[in-house]
Structures are given as C-alpha cells and as structure tokens.
C-alpha cells in the first residue's frame, strides 16, 4: 500500500516532496525490493510526514486517524459500476461532498458544473484514461468484501473513471480489509453490500467466500 500511495503522490500535488525524498535512490519506487525491511521502512518514513501513516505520539495522523494496524491488503479489479459505488474518504473534496454527498456516483456527473479547481485535474485524468494511460491503482478500505468501500487515495482518479471508463473495462485497485476499520469509516454514510471482486492477497493467496481469486505474486505492502 505504501508503495502504491507514494507512486500516486509522485504524480500529484506532492510530487516535489516525493521526488526529493527518493532522489538519492529512485529505485525505492521504480524497482522496489519488497522483502527488504529497511527499504520498506524508508518508504513509510517518506509517507508519514505529509499523510500521517503510522504517526508517532504527538504527530498528526491526518487521513490515517483511527486507521487500524491489522489491515490485510488485496489487489482487485473494479468496473465503473464498482467505482461509482465507492465513497469519498474523510476530508476528501469536502467543499463538494458537503453539498452533494460522498458517494462517487452522485458527484461524478456534476464535476464540470462545480466551482472547484479540482475539476480541471479530473478533466486531465479523463483525457489520460481515454488515451489508454495506465494509472496508479485506487486505494480503498472496508471492514470486509461486503462492507461499504471508502477511498483512502485516488478520489480524483475515481471521479474520472466514473465519468469516462467504458462499462466493460476494469481497473486496478488495492483494497484493505480489517474488522477494526469501522472507526476509520465512522464518518462515512452506510450503504448496501458491495462485493470487491477478483481479490488477491499480497502476502498469500487465500480463498474468500464469493470472491474469485486472481493468482499472482506480491506487488506491494
């Protein structure tokens, strides 16, 4: 998860911060050694200051406030319909979600009518999607496959996908599950069951009821 988050940040508003942090050894992002605990710790150290991941006492946890420590990370595929059923995370696009709610399907159709500078970024991502560019995976969290799924990272990409992704196309997502996730999701509105499909756990392949497993090797943590 940390690797995917940093790769996404490198293409966003925090690009300069990430590039500066890894300038001495870009391989941390471009050719990661995921079994190297020291390298993994360095990536956490880069993510922590501006996102609050694994914040120490006295440090601000930012978007990771209340985030559980026992999250199991899976790789999945999501269709446009799946993405429309996602919810924006806490404090994501608050000037818009305060008026239109936090479900992607309710906000995405309105984006170009909204008085928000984010709409220009979403428009640029839409063009990248139409051009077939491979974007970083969305990062989504829930209490389990049938719980409500909330965006941790990638709300602009999710909005663009909901607007222009072809119905038969699926895109990558990293999905974190923990039974203790409810406290992090607490400010999210309830919704009906949504099954995150085609899941592959990073550390091992395990069968989950009603889930089609995608075989593969670990790609992140």
- Locate the domains of the chain by residue range: 2-64, 72-201
What is the share, in percent, of the chain residues with pLDDT greater than 70? 81
Residue pointed to by tokens 């919704």:
191
Largest distance between two CA atoms of the chain: 47
φ/ψ of 7, rounded to 5, equals: -65, -40
Sheet containing 200-201: order of strands? 150-153, 138-142, 170-177, 72-79, 200-201
- pTM (2 d.p.): 0.79
- Say yes or no: domain 72-201 is CATH 3.90.660: no
pLDDT in tens, 50-97: 777 887 777 767 788 888 889 999 999 999 999 999 999 877 778 788
How far apart, in whole angstroms, are the C-alpha atoms of residue 63 and residue 8? 15
Lowest-pLDDT range, 114-123, 171-180, 193-202? 193-202
Of 109, 106, 107, 105, nearest to 82 by C-alpha is 105
């Amino acid at each position: 998860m940390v690797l995917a988050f940093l790769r996404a940040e490198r293409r966003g508003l925090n690009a300069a911060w990430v590039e500066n942090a890894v300038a001495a050894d870009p391989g941390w992002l471009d050719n990661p050694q995921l079994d190297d605990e020291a390298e993994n710790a360095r990536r956490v150290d880069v993510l922590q200051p501006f996102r609050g991941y694994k914040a120490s006492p006295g440090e601000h946890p930012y978007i990771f406030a209340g985030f559980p420590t026992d999250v199991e990370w899976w790789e999945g595929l999501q269709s446009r319909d799946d993405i429309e059923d996602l919810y924006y995370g806490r404090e994501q696009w608050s000037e818009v979600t305060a008026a239109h709610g936090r479900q992607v399907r309710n906000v995405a159709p309105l984006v170009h009518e909204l008085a928000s500078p984010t709409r220009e970024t979403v428009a640029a991502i839409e063009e990248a999607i139409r051009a077939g560019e491979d974007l970083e995976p969305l990062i989504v969290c829930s209490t389990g496959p049938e719980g409500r799924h909330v965006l941790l990272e990638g709300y602009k990409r999710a909005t663009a996908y909901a607007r222009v992704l072809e119905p038969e196309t699926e895109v990558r997502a990293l999905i974190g599950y923990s039974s203790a996730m409810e406290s992090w999701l607490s400010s999210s509105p309830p919704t009906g069951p949504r099954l995150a499909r085609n899941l592959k756990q990073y550390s091992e392949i395990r069968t989950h009821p009603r889930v089609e497993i995608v075989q593969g090797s670990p790609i992140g943590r």
